Amino acid sequence: MPLPPLSRKLSAEDAAHLLRRTAFGATDAGIRALVGRPAHEVTRDLLSFGDERAPGNPFDPSSAATPGAGIQLTRAAWLYELFYGPHPLRELLALAWSNHFVIGTDKVRNVPMLTAYLGLLRRHSATTDFARFTLEVAQSPAMLRYLDNDQNRKGRPNENFSRELLELFTTGIGPYTEDDVREGARALTGWSFEGGRGNQNFLQEARFLFRPGQHDTGQKTYLGQSGNLGGEDVIRLAATHPATAPFIARKLHRALVADEPDPAAVAASAETFRRTHGNVRAVLEELLASEHFYSRRAAIIRGPVAFITGAVRTLGQPKLEAKQILTLAQTAGRMGQLLLEPDTVKGWDGGREWINDTTLLLRMQVAASLTTAGTAPKLEAQPSDLALLGTERSPLAGVTDGLNPKQRLYLTLISPEFGLA
């Protein structure tokens, strides 16, 4: 059964909730613009994004003099897009997919590889074909480099990507055997890339390359299917396996609904995923317009990037200096979320793992830099409690009454209520 749709038109608090989840946050004007509209109509509009980018991005990774500088500029350019881009839901989903199809700059230090990887995540952020998305990720030089499939050849199979394809990218642990991992690695032999190798070539383009002489053409059995299977076959079999639907559905619910998803709601989204043959956009259209979505409030602990981006967007996207954005990208890393560098190949755990004494102190410092510090940006308007907290009845009223606007903003941004979406 599909998730029941929201029957009422959006109230102000409904609209605030939707934008806190899908756009990191919004101004009062952005919220009011959605009031009175049907949820399904608003959801379709939010998902109708193209490739437009934020104008005036000051960060150009291709101008870097070293690999490390290229990586820092790539992170800052993405954070700028998160702050000021016209399609925050696209960027939010790209961030979620970067925590699913994980690569890391500890191994991937080539700027065009990182740029192409981010472009791929954006292009497929609300994909209508998850199997195609998985195939393009698998053939991206960034993934080939990160999980060593460029070293996978006949007679010397490398199982790293084959294992993570099943365990982390599609079915999850359980539906496959070690034989499937081995046979998948054999099928993926010969997949490599050319260009962009070595620190001296960190600005050189790289492209996927199939090396027939390194491919194992023998008979293979994978997830119950036998034949002369190649890489495209195992990607398709893994991405369309029945266990992949609930695995991906749960990831989408964790990104947009709750740190601890409801199993029945996940099962409903998984059925939509199966029925539409891996159409993630269809799953999102149903999920974001559902009664379930609007019933789960304050159920996600904002990660460092979401916390910082949410603050900037809720404050009206004040223009920050390039140096401030570079610093914020580094601060997000100190808070546990360095863009393009998850902790492990399984990604950031999220939830309560975002919160400890050190990260709370850093959140306070970020909030101060945006509100009370001498270098804090000037705001065109003061956000209301609705924009800041998603409710017109602030639970902080007794604490913030009588404070000046900057103090009020600071205390609100460091409150648990703002830290939850």
pLDDT number for residue 397: 80
From the centroid of its chain, how far is CA 223?
A: 28
The 10s digit of each residue's pLDDT in 150-193 is: 999 999 999 999 999 999 999 999 999 999 999 999 999 999 99
Joined together, the tokens standing for residue 255 give 């990104």
Taking the CB of residue 310, how many other CB atoms lie within 10 A of it? Answer: 25
Quick one: which H or E segment has residue 207? strand 207-210
Give pLDDT, residue 395: 87
Please tell me the distance from the alpha carbon of residue 125 to that of residue 96, in angstroms, as a whole number.
9
Residues 6 or more apart in contact with residue 243 via CB below 8 angstroms: 170, 171, 172, 174, 175
List the beta strands (DSSP E) in 291-415.
none
Positive or negative torsion for Cα 316, 319, 324, 328: positive
Residues 6+ away with beta carbon under 8 Å from 58: 80, 322
**Per-residue confidence (pLDDT) for residue 208, from 0 to 100:** 98
pLDDT at 48 over 90: yes
**Three-state DSSP state, 179:** helix
pLDDT confidence of residue 128: 98
Type of residue numbered 86: P
DSSP H/E element including 300 = none
Q: Kindly tell me if the per-residue pLDDT of 219 is higher than 90.
A: yes
Q: Is the pLDDT of residue 1 over 90?
A: no
pLDDT at 394: 82
**Of 122, 102, 95, which is closest to residue 304 (Cα–Cα)?**
95
d(CA 284, CA 20): 16
**pLDDT interval class at 23 (50, 70, 90):** very high
| Residue 401 pLDDT greater than 90, yes or no | no
Helices and strands (H, E) in the chain, number of each type: 22, 4
pLDDT digit string, tens, across residues 93-148: 999 999 999 999 999 999 999 999 999 999 999 999 999 999 999 999 999 999 99
- Paired tokens of 176: 């496959």
What pLDDT does residue 402 have?
84
Helix or strand run (H / E) with residue 222: strand 220-222
Cα 326 from Cα 237, distance rounded (Å) = 42
- According to DSSP, the β-strands at 220-222 and 207-210 are unpaired
Band (398; pLDDT cuts 50, 70, 90): confident
What pLDDT, in 10s, does the model give residues 271-285? 999 999 999 999 999
In this structure, of 36-40, 66-70, 146-150, 404-408, the range with the lowest mean pLDDT score is 404-408
Tell me, what's the pLDDT at 136?
98
What percent of the chain has a predicted confidence (pLDDT) above 90? 97
pLDDT for position 182 = 98
Instruction: Tell me phi and psi for residue 222, to 5 degrees.
Output: -140, 120
**pLDDT grade for 54, boundaries at 50, 70 and 90:** very high
**Residue 354 corresponds to which tokens in the numbers above?**
């975002």
Give the pair of three-digit tokens for residue 337: 């979320």
Break the chain into its structural domains and give their ranges. 304-419
Contact criterion met (CB below 8 Å) for 288 and 18: yes
- Residue 393: per-residue pLDDT: 86
pLDDT, averaged across the chain: 97
304, 339 in Cβ contact below 8 A? Answer: no
Determine the average pLDDT of the residues in 342-366. Answer: 97
How far apart, in whole angstroms, are the C-alpha atoms of residue 86 and residue 122?
13
